[in-house]
Amino acid sequence: MTMRGRPKVITEEMLSELKGRLEARSVQSIQGVINLFKSPERIGDRISNRTARRCCKGLGYWLPLLDKRAKGNHRRYRWTEAQLAEIRECAPQLCPERTLALHEIGTQMVTIRTVSDKWGVPYHRLRMDADYLSQGKLKRALSHAPEGPILEIRGVKDSFFKWCYEEFKLTGKTPSAAEAKKALESEFDIQMPVRTVYTHLAAWKKDRSIESRRYVKSGKYEKKAKTLQQVMTPVQIPGASRAPAHQG
């Protein structure tokens, strides 16, 4: 079945190769067929939208104009051979799960969330690794990353825990994250995000067996339950006279 399109003729060989691509589902839209004909590995000269649709219908395929899979953007990252080599080179600094997850992000059609849940690696960590790798900065980023908690690396963990306990004895309350953050900056010369300060405060409370604060709802906001007498007493309407008692 030879089809005449504008400006060239679509031969049997072209249709046969196109049918193979359609059966393999490597092309799933009219735009994909058009791109196939104009790509470097094209199977023929460029064709129009109308010709592409006629070819597909002639082969028994009714395709949409655009591939709906593209909306998901599941292949944001596609690792080159150089990037795969960089992953292998950085593997000693990455844990095995983190290495496999990072490799899978750029070689399979999966989302970062799916890979994160599969390998048990935090989502934000995988996202940062993928961004660094795509920019060619993964090796440099890992060389500057701390190999453990910053308080242990600086050797001030015990001093920070001591400061927390002194504040606790002085006020009777655990220090807030804002207070701890200021102390880390002024006394230990450490800049730290508040969410990380919370993590170290939780570690200190666990070490000292100190329970976290519990916030109880104030009693003045609680709805009081009605007493039995209030339930049994009928509502009195102002200005209404009582019905006379029945006399037998």
Give yes or no: residues 131 and 162 share one domain: no
Give yes or no: residues 97 and 55 share one domain: no
Residue 219 confidence (pLDDT):
52
How many structural domains is the chain composed of? 3
Checking if the pLDDT of 173 tops 50, the result is yes
User: Which of 89, 122, 144 is at the close of a domain?
Assistant: 144
Q: CB under 8 Å to 156, separation ≥6 — which residues?
A: 188, 190
HSE-CB at 167 with a 13 A cutoff on CA atoms is 17
Instruction: Measure the CA–CA gap between 158 and 185, rounded to whole angstroms.
Output: 16
- 4 versus 26: the higher-pLDDT residue is 26
Map tokens 């009928």 to a residue. 234
CA angle in degrees (0–180, nearest 5) for 28-36-58: 60
Give yes or no: residues 8 and 49 share one domain: yes
pLDDT digits (tens, 9 = 90+) for 132-155: 898 888 888 877 666 566 787 678
**pLDDT band for position 119 (cuts 50, 70, 90):** confident
Q: Quick check: 56 and 63 in contact, CB under 8 A?
A: yes
Give yes or no: residues 100 and 135 share one domain: yes
Domain ranges, residue 136: 81-144
* DSSP code of residue 67: -
User: Which of 116, 144, 172 is at the close of a domain?
Assistant: 144
Instruction: Measure the CA–CA gap between 15 and 29, rounded to whole angstroms.
Output: 16
Report if pTM > 0.85.
no
- 83 versus 72: the higher-pLDDT residue is 83
- Asked if residue 38 is part of any domain, the answer here is yes
pLDDT digits (tens, 9 = 90+) for 24-58: 777 888 888 888 887 666 666 778 888 888 888 88
Indicate the average pLDDT of the chain.
Answer: 77
Least confident of 27-31, 79-83, 102-106: 27-31
Give yes or no: residues 65 and 87 share one domain: no
CA 217 to chain CA mean position, Å: 34
- Asked if residue 241 is part of any domain, the answer here is no
Give yes or no: residues 7 and 35 share one domain: yes
Tokens of 72: 């998901």
Least confident of 86-95, 110-119, 192-201, 235-244: 235-244
Q: CB under 8 Å to 16, separation ≥6 — which residues?
A: none
- Asked if residue 107 is part of any domain, the answer here is yes
Strands 9-10 and 3-4: antiparallel
Residue 43 confidence (pLDDT):
67
- Asked if residue 246 is part of any domain, the answer here is no
Residue 162 confidence (pLDDT):
92
- Cβ atoms within 10 Å of 158's Cβ, excluding its own: 11
- 180 versus 92: the higher-pLDDT residue is 180
- Asked if residue 18 is part of any domain, the answer here is yes
- Asked if residue 189 is part of any domain, the answer here is yes
CA 216 to chain CA mean position, Å: 33
